[in-house]
């Protein structure tokens, strides 16, 4: 992904999608285990930890991210991919 053209929230979405795809997607859901720290995600997408925390909380509220112990569950990969695609269009 070309992060330079994406807003911070879209870079976070793209990174979560990449991590889920790297670990394997089963059906329409993905697991990221162990879940990276917010600081690690921030470093990967060139932002600060607070922005990552806010966006992960928003994704959880919207049902796009679940936290289970040390694992992130993305229950709807297709919907997350749509958000990433939409970010490229903006």
Name residues whose C-beta falls within 8 Å of residue 75's C-beta, 6 or more positions apart in sequence: 28, 29, 63, 64, 66
Query: How many other β-carbons are positioned within 10 Å of the β-carbon of residue 17?
Result: 21
Q: What is the pLDDT of residues 36-54, one digit of tens each?
A: 999 999 999 999 999 999 9
Does domain 3-89 sit in CATH 1.10.10.10? yes
Q: What is the pTM of this model?
A: 0.90
Which pLDDT score is estimated for 43?
A: 97
Q: Chain centroid to CA 24: how far? A: 14
Hey, where are the domains in the chain? 3-89
């Amino acid at each position: 992904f070309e992060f330079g053209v994406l807003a911070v929230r879209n870079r976070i979405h793209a990174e979560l999608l990449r991590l889920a795809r790297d670990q394997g997607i089963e059906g329409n859901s993905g697991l990221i285990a162990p879940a990276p720290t917010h600081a690690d995600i921030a470093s990967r997408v060139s932002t600060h930890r607070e922005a990552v925390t806010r966006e992960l909380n928003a994704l959880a509220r919207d049902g796009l991210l679940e936290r289970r112990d040390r694992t992130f569950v993305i229950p709807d990969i297709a919907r997350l991919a749509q958000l990433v695609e939409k970010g490229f269009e903006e």
